[in-house]
Amino acid sequence: LSADLVVRGATVLDPGAPLGVADIWIEDGVITAVEPGAARRISGPEVIEADGMIAMPGLVNAHTHSGQHLDRGVAPNLPLDLWMLWAVYGAPSLDPDDSYTLAAVGALEMLETGCTSVLDHPWIPLDDFDAHAEAIATAYADLGIRAGLAPMIQDRDIFESMTFDDGDVPDPLSEAVEPGELAVAMDRFLTRWADAPRLIPMVGPSAPQRCSDELMRRLAELVDRRGSHFHTHVLETRAQVVATRARYGRSVLDVLDELGLLGERTSLAHCVWLDADEYAAVRDAGATIVHNPVSNLRCGSGLLPLAGLLAGGVTVALGADGAASNDNQNMFEAMKIAALVHSLNGEYRCWPSATDVWSMCLAGGAAALGQPIGRIAPGAAADIVLLDGSRHYADDADSLVRSLVFAEHGRSVHTVLVDGRRVIAEGRHVGDQADLHRRARALQRRIHAALPTRSLLLDRYGDLLGGAHDQALAHELSIERLARITPAFEPGPVERV
């Protein structure tokens, strides 16, 4: 056995192995062996003494938007299209330094709460595309997190992506962009970051309905030519089913499939409103669905039929989604909500367990990022979280996972390794983050100073989008994802005054 680092004596919690005390051998950032007591026979490598600690694979946040990381508490609870007006179109403009700050504070929050990999889908303006991408990638390298980076691009405006039964589409809120220029910028991005350590550049249109056919065709060509990972939002809301059926005259999954964009390197955020044929298409293509339970609750988007997807063999990952719709980047919290909310649906024997959700976060996250992560086993990347074991007691893996999913917030995180590099020690990042915190505070002030702009937008377009939302709710669909609760009193819900 050879190693440059050994984690000695932790209780190893791995989704594919029995719970037990073992030493974890690491060489060049890769786990080479997990063996009881083996490290005592050798000397040479650095040793992390982990007696009394729990070692688990680093959690994976498979969908977020780093540009929103300081939007905690900024947005009211609103349906997605109204929320988007507030959170996206009303946001202050950001320069590359801001993009760095936002990506860095998010990475810090994730690492300190036991998450070692993120799939970031940040909006990046075309006029300064390269500088923003550079800033975000640099932040991830500086903080030491593993990241899939899928710049979120689109060339259709929010209003163009919706249907209005009355036919009148308002003037666009965003400036027109040339699909060819976006595709060229994406091509440059894939070349620039092809060989960066711990960074996976991805192609990430915002959503098919927010892109022209030409842009989607060009991105599909890019994905095919470069063998890239592909990430996008798919059918998050009922209104999107109505809008995409109206635009394409068929399922948006068929459109993606025809473009060659459904495959093992594809991950699709949300997918709340797919029907059985569409879920089967995702499964048969080997693509991954990223479940974002907190964001779906925050925007009232509906409940993913998770139990059926897991039973039906669909790969599902877990995401926090952006802080404007979450507001934390804490995967313990995301796991807890995911392990609770699905008891609203179906009979109790089918409710997803804490272990289901935890495994989903790890194995689904590994699939979404296409990386050998989510295991503490030979051949896996050494992305390892050591938790102070004193808050959790268990002799068996299921009880321990339940304790972690339902009772942990990240407070027990002691040490975090990414690629075998120690990034968190004694619960704190190993780098000095005082300057980052100062910059984040200043940016937060700017975000809050711009809140009146968001209110104005909502005043101006709120009724229009609210009307479109109501129309979408009235459309007959063959599926339902919203709870229908009998009112407390007849005749129905009391209006707020």
Q: Which residues bind Zn ion (CB under 5 A)?
A: 321
Per-residue CA distances from 478 to 67, 164, 238, 241, 306 (Å) = 36, 21, 11, 11, 18
Nearer to Zn ion, 112 or 321 (CB): 321
**CA angle, 74 then 108 then 78, to 5°:** 20
Of 482, 455, 382, give the one whose Cα is nearest residue 422. Answer: 382
Q: How far is the CB of 319 from Zn ion (least distance, A)?
A: 8
Nearer to Zn ion, 325 or 412 (CB): 325
Nearer to Zn ion, 39 or 234 (CB): 234
- Do 306 and 353 form a contact (C-beta atoms < 8 A)? no
Nearest distance in Å: CB 150, Zn ion: 11
Note whether 301 and 80 are within 8 A (CB): yes
CB-wise, 321 or 333, nearer to Zn ion? 321
Question: The dihedral of CA 462, 238, 203, 142: what is its sign?
Answer: positive
| Nearest distance in Å: CB 10, Zn ion | 35
CB of 174 to Zn ion, least distance (A): 17
Q: Tell me how far CA of residue 274 lies from CA of 116, 130, 277, 313, 484, in angstroms.
A: 30, 35, 8, 15, 19
Q: Which is nearer to Zn ion, 33 or 294 (CB)?
A: 294
Q: For residues 152 and 149, give the distance between their C-alpha atoms in angstroms, rounded to a whole number.
A: 9
CB 429 within 8 A of CB 111: yes
Nearer to Zn ion, 110 or 417 (CB): 110
Cβ-contact 317, 291 below 8 angstroms: yes
Q: Which is nearer to Zn ion, 48 or 235 (CB)?
A: 235
Cis peptide before 491 (omega within 30 of 0): yes
Least distance in Å: CB of 416 to Zn ion? 25
Residue number with CB closer to Zn ion (87 or 404): 87
Q: Which residue has the tokens 């190893």?
A: 12
Q: Among residues 83 and 358, whose Cβ is nearest to Zn ion?
A: 83
Instruction: Note the helical H segments in 209-326.
Output: 213-226, 238-248, 252-258, 276-285, 293-298, 306-311
Where do the H-state alpha helices sit in 175-275?
179-192, 213-226, 238-248, 252-258
Angle between helices 238-248 and 451-474 (to 10 degrees): 70
Cβ at position 136, least distance to Zn ion in Å: 16
Q: Which of 256/417 has CB closer to Zn ion?
A: 256
Query: Sign of the C-alpha dihedral, residues 346, 263, 80, 241?
Result: negative
Which residue's C-beta sits nearest to Zn ion?
321
Comparison of 71 and 321: residue with beta carbon closer to Zn ion: 321
How far apart are the C-alpha atoms of 418 and 111, rounded to whole Å?
Answer: 9
CB of 355 to Zn ion, least distance (A): 26
The closest alpha carbon to 266, from 57, 481, 62, belongs to 62
Least Å from the CB of residue 493 to Zn ion:
29
Output 73-77 pairs: Cβ under 8 A, ≥24 positions apart: 73/327, 74/324, 74/327, 74/447, 74/448, 74/451, 74/454, 75/298, 75/324, 75/325, 77/298, 77/299, 77/300
Cα 81 from Cα 95, distance rounded (Å)? 25
Q: What does DSSP assign to residue 486? A: -
Of 53 and 158, CB closest to Zn ion:
158
Spatial distance between the Cα atoms of 33 and 21, rounded to a whole number of angstroms: 13
